[in-house]
Each structure stands twice: as structure tokens, then as C-alpha cells.
Amino acid sequence: MYSHNYKFKTYTTSHGFTLVEMMVTLAILGVLATAAFPMGKLAVQRHKEQDLRHALVKIRTAIDAYKQATDEGKVIKSANDSGYPKTLEVLVDGVDNAKDPRRGKIYFLRQLPRDPFAPDNLRAEATWAKRSYASAPDQPAEGDDVFDIHSKSIDIGINGIAYKEW
């Protein structure tokens, strides 16, 4: 009996990627990155818009609370005053309660929110455009008091409305 011992020659293959495979992979990653960048930018804008909405509600609520406290006689005002705060900082610094025998302070905000679309190097109050009670709604202007606030940004929101009109 013959026993044949055949030895087969094995070829080892390289386990790396070819240049074509690498180029195709990079092209696919490039297309995905190009598609993801605008989505990330939109997400950042949405977050800033949400912060703007919350800040506007918070400050406007505090302004209204100040006016109500004035109308109730808790905040002293002269005959010429509108009853609205002179500055936004008054909402944080507080005012003396005229109805409290110990003259305790009334605070309307813990901290003044910033306009998220304003430059970072400004104080919080300087980030907002203010409208006085005496100014017309279609032409808001600063004056002796703060009746309302809006963003100074000239950009347009995702909803198509300018931030300064929010």
C-alpha cells in the first residue's frame, strides 16, 4: 500500500485594506459628515432659541410682578413714575417693601438671564434692548423705565420671525 503524503502549498493573504477600499470608506464618511454638520448647527440654534424664550418669559414676568407690587403700594413711586422698574438690575437687587414695617426687600429675580444671541463680553443687562412705557409698540425705545425687553439680535429664527420681534 502506498501512502501518498501530499503537501499543499498555502498562500497567505494580507489582512489590510486596499487603497480603493480606503477611498470608498473616506468618501462615505465625508458624505455623512457633510449631512450631519447642518443638523448639529440647527440643534445649537434650537437650543439658543429655547433659552431666549425662557429668558424673555422670566424677565417679562418679573417686570409685571414689579408693576403689580407698585400698584399694590409695596413699591414707592412718585406721581410721574409709570410703576415699572427703572432698570433691569432693580429686579435682582430688590426694592424696599413699603408695606413691611421692617422694610424687608422684595426680589423679583435671582439672576438676570442673558440674551443667548448676544456677545459673551457684555453684562447681562446690556444684552437686552429695552422699551420704555412711553415708547410706541412699533418703535420701541429706551426711556425712564423698563416696560418690555427684546433681543438685540438682527438674526431670523427658525420660525421665520426676527428675534427682536419675539
Handedness of CA 51, 63, 91, 134 (dihedral sign): positive
Backbone phi, psi, residue 130, to 5°: -115, 150
pLDDT reported for residue 68: 95
pLDDT band at 61 (very low <50, low <70, confident <90, very high): very high
CA distances from 158 to 47, 93, 113, 161, 163 (A): 11, 35, 22, 8, 10
Closest CA to 91 of 119, 117, 124: 124
CA distances from 44 to 39, 49, 52, 123, 140 (A): 9, 9, 12, 22, 29
Using CB atoms within 10 Å of the CB of residue 85, give its burial: 0 to 12 exposed, 13 to 18 middle, 19+ buried. Answer: buried
Backbone phi, psi, residue 105, to 5°: -90, 150
DSSP 3-state percent helix, strand, coil across the chain (nearest 5):
40, 10, 50
DSSP string, 20-85: HHHHHHHHHHHHHHHHHHHHHHHHHHHHHHHHHHHHHHHHHHHHHHHHHHHHTTSS---TT--SS-
For residue 99, is pLDDT > 60?
yes
What's the whole-number mean pLDDT along residues 98-112?
91
pTM for the predicted model, two decimal places: 0.75
CA–CA distance, 86 with 142 (Å, rounded to integer): 10
- For residue 36, the cross-strand partners are none
| Tens-place pLDDT, residues 112-165 | 999 999 998 899 999 999 999 999 888 888 999 999 999 999 999 999 999 999
| Tens-place pLDDT, residues 2-60 | 566 666 666 666 677 788 888 888 888 888 878 777 777 888 899 999 999 999 999 99
| Residue 133 three-state SS | coil
